[in-house]
């Protein structure tokens, strides 16, 4: 069986001592940072990217993936204990999780969240392992028109599904495409938009954009708001959920896993929509909907499973097609490219040890989440007491040194300020930055495939419609746009995509 030989290759990579250590470190750091409000997973990954450049690709991806789902889980710990969502995707866990904590049932809430995440994580890993080879085969048959239409779909989906007006979201994504074009045009060798700045010929470095847009802008936002956080520490008595908790929770966990997997594979949807979607489903089919909001364990189990399932499944399009569905996935892909690996369907065939090692490490990472989190709850709660005035200098220092170690050029550090200011302007204008980084990463691919398609068809746009797969992608993009024009659906989306990830 291919499935098992692949997985055993994966586990042989993941179980090396050093990769286990990077996985643990990633999960630990990710959880710790996920707990801290005001430091999201995007910022964490952006700031820690340079640390992974010296590592082999497998270790780098394993560690970054650990940070990613660690952060997803860390956010729910604080949601339950102190009613503070560390990430936007755990905002929904606050509703019933915090109520459970107030009733003295913080332990079972945390345990159910961990179990739900673990089950969803396992399902996500299996889904990834099962879907990756066929999807890769499909994508290997793609030509330029198919890739062009797929990228258009990804950009539109991300733009449409983030918080705010869809026109704004799409415009941000295409602005990212524009910035991705800066540098030498590989086809003609001509400089574009470099304005004589040395170093811009190779384009704006990915880390510079990521750090400016996310780390810089987020620091300013937090300093402007300067809110004081009250920390309530509830005593945690008894972690184990009761038999009735488990019997009430297992079905929501499975349903949440299904909802989360679906939204995870879709480009642009992300964890926030998945967890809100699962909550809505649970409330709708519950026999006792009036209990929701008053500490219903189903309201914790479902969304937490959905959150984690979508976090895992977001890797499916990213790794098999080379098309990231969210800002975080764009960062993961950027990390791969810095490692010298071209994203796309050939990853699976050219770097099987990377691909399957990453998948196996995800399963190990999910297990570690359960093992690490429950005993360390006290540590996470005490981390909440760290004042922000200690945190932001740390983020700044790691960003600046990180960029300098990559390029050894002060110009890149100043460029980070430029993108930081751009990120700040976005924030002030209510624009989400995530589509920008996606557009930035996909921009050169979009142009390359557009050019090739036009060369093939001798300048006839019809090629995007006569190729059936390409037509299907474009139709899906159109469908998304049409859906969002329906006011009722748009309203629901805005409730769900509170912040987007």
Partner 1 sequence: MRLTKDMFAGLMFLTFGIGAAVIAQNYSLGTLARMGSGYFPMMIGSLIAIMGLAILVRAILRPGSSEPVATIEFRPILFIAAAIVIFGLVIDDFGIIAALAALIVIARFAGREGGPIELAMMVVVLIAVVVGIFVYGLNIHLRLWPS
User: Of 3, 8, 134, 224, which one interacts with partner 1 (CB under 8 A)?
Assistant: 224
Contact between 133 and 348 under an 8 Å Cβ cutoff? The reply is yes
Cα diameter, the chain: 71
Instruction: For residues 467 and 450, give the distance between their C-alpha atoms in angstroms, rounded to a whole number.
Output: 14
Tell me: does residue 491 bind partner 1 (CB under 8 A): no
Does 384 bind partner 1 (CB under 8 A)? Our answer is no
Q: Rule CB under 8 A: is residue 229 a binding residue for partner 1?
A: no
| Of residues 128 and 477, the one with the C-beta less far from partner 1 | 477
CB nearer partner 1, residue 190 or residue 488: 190
User: What gap in Å lies between CA 319 and CA 327, rounded to an integer?
Assistant: 14
394-433: contacts with partner 1 (CB under 8 A): 394, 396-398, 400-401, 404-405, 410-411, 413-414, 416-417, 420-421, 424-425, 428-431
| Residue tagged 């909001």 (tokens) | 293
Please state at what angle helix 91-102 crosses helix 106-140, rounded to 10 degrees. Answer: 160
Least separation in angstroms between residue 41's CB and partner 1 is 21
| Residue 194 binding partner 1, by CB under 8 A | no
Q: Residues 5, 187, 233, 247: which binds partner 1 (CB under 8 A)? A: 187
The CA–CA distances, whole Å, from 337 to 163, 186, 310, 344, 479 equal: 28, 17, 23, 11, 32
Give yes or no for residue 289 binding partner 1 (CB under 8 A). Answer: no
Q: Taking CB under 8 A as the rule, does residue 3 contact partner 1? A: no
390 contributes a contact to partner 1 by CB under 8 A: yes
Q: Where are the beta strands (DSSP E) in 63-167?
A: none
Q: Which stretch binds partner 1 (CB under 8 A): 63-71, 88-96, 146-154, 218-226?
A: 218-226
Interface with partner 1 includes 226 (CB under 8 A)?
yes
Shortest reach from residue 362's CB to partner 1, in Å: 25
Burial of 34-50, coded b for 16+ CB within 10 Å and e otherwise, reads bbbbbbbbbbbbbbbbb
Of 5 and 192, nearer to partner 1 (C-beta) is: 192
Helix (H/G/I), strand (E/B), else coil: 191: strand
Query: Is 384 or 416 the residue whose CB approaches partner 1 more closely?
Result: 416
Min dist CB 180 to partner 1, Å, is: 9
Q: Do residues 356 and 175 make contact, with C-beta atoms less than 8 angstroms apart?
A: no
The answer to whether residue 193 forms part of the interface with partner 1 (CB under 8 A) is yes
Single out the segment in contact with partner 1 by CB under 8 A; choices: 31-39, 92-100, 214-222, 351-359: 214-222
d(CA 85, CA 37): 7
Instruction: Tell me: does residue 465 bind partner 1 (CB under 8 A).
Output: no
State how far the Cα of 499 lies from the Cα of 432, in Å rounded to an integer: 8
E-strand stretches of 251-341 = none
Please tell me whether residue 445 binds partner 1 under the rule CB under 8 A.
Answer: no
Task: By CB under 8 A, tell whether 478 contacts partner 1.
Answer: no
Residue 151 binds to partner 1 (criterion: CB under 8 A): no
Nearest Cα residue to 328 out of 420, 433, 401: 433
Check residue 108 for interaction with partner 1 (CB under 8 A): no
Residue 337 binding partner 1, by CB under 8 A? no
User: Could you tell me which of 364, 334, 335 has the C-alpha nearest to residue 60?
Assistant: 335
Q: Is there binding between residue 197 and partner 1 (CB under 8 A)? A: no
Answer for the pair 439, 230: CB distance below 8 angstroms, yes or no.
no
Rounded CA separation 193/179 (Å): 9
220 is a contact residue toward partner 1 (CB under 8 A): yes
Number of residues that bind partner 1 (CB under 8 A): 60
C-alpha distances in Å from residue 260, one per residue of 42, 281, 283, 491:
20, 12, 16, 20
| CB of 313 closer than 8 Å to CB of 260 | yes
> Interface with partner 1 by CB under 8 A: which residues?
51, 54, 165, 167-168, 170-171, 174-175, 177-178, 181, 185, 187-188, 190, 192-193, 216, 219-220, 223-224, 226, 387-390, 392-394, 396-398, 400-401, 404-405, 410-411, 413-414, 416-417, 420-421, 424-425, 428-431, 447, 450-451, 454-455, 457-459
């Amino acid at each position: 069986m291919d499935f098992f030989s692949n997985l055993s290759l994966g586990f042989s990579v993941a179980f090396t001592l050093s990769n286990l250590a990077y996985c643990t470190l990633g999960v630990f750091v990710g959880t710790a940072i996920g707990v801290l409000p005001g430091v999201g997973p995007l910022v964490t990954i952006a700031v820690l990217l340079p640390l992974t450049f010296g590592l082999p690709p497998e270790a780098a991806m394993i560690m970054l993936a650990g940070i990613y789902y660690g952060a997803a889980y860390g956010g729910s710990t604080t949601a339950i204990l102190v009613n503070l969502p560390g990430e936007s995707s755990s905002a929904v866990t606050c509703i019933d999780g915090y109520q459970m904590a107030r009733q003295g049932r913080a332990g079972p809430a945390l345990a159910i969240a961990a179990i739900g995440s673990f089950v969803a994580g396992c399902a996500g890993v299996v889904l990834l392992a099962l879907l990756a080879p066929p999807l890769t085969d499909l994508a290997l048959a793609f030509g330029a028109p198919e890739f062009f239409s797929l990228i258009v779909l990804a950009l539109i989906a991300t733009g449409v599904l983030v918080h705010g007006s869809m026109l704004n979201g799409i415009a941000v994504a295409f602005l990212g495409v524009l910035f991705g074009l800066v540098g030498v045009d590989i086809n003609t060798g001509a400089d574009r938009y470099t304005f004589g700045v040395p170093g811009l010929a190779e384009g704006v470095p990915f880390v510079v954009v990521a750090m400016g847009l996310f780390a810089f802008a987020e620091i300013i936002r937090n300093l402007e708001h300067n809110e004081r956080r009250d920390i309530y520490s509830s005593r945690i008595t008894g972690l184990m959920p009761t038999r009735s908790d488990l019997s009430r929770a297992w079905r929501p966990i499975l349903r949440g896993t299904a909802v989360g997997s679906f939204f995870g594979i879709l480009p642009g949807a992300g964890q926030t929509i998945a967890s809100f979607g699962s909550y809505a489903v649970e409330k709708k089919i519950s026999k006792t909907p009036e209990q929701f909001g008053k500490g219903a364990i189903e309201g914790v189990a479902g969304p937490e499973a959905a959150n984690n399932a979508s976090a895992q499944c977001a890797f499916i399009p990213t790794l098999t097609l080379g098309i990231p569905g969210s800002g975080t996935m764009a960062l993961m892909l950027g990390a791969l490219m810095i490692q010298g690996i071209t994203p796309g369907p050939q990853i699976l065939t050219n770097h099987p040890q990377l691909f399957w090692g990453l998948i196996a490490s995800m399963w190990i990472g999910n297990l570690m989440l359960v093992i690490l989190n429950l005993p360390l709850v006290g540590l996470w709660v005490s981390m909440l007491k760290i004042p922000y005035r200690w945190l932001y200098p740390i983020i700044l220092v790691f960003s600046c040194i990180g960029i300098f170690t990559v390029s050894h050029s002060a110009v890149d550090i100043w460029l980070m300020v430029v993108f930081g200011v751009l990120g700040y302007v976005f924030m002030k204008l209510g624009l989400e930055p995530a589509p920008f980084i996606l557009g930035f990463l996909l921009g050169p691919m979009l142009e390359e495939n557009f050019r090739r398609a036009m060369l093939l068809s001798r300048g006839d746009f019809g090629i995007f419609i006569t190729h059936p797969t390409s037509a299907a992608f474009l139709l899906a993009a159109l469908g998304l746009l049409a859906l969002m024009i329906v006011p009722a659906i748009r309203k629901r989306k805005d409730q769900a995509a509170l912040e987007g990830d």
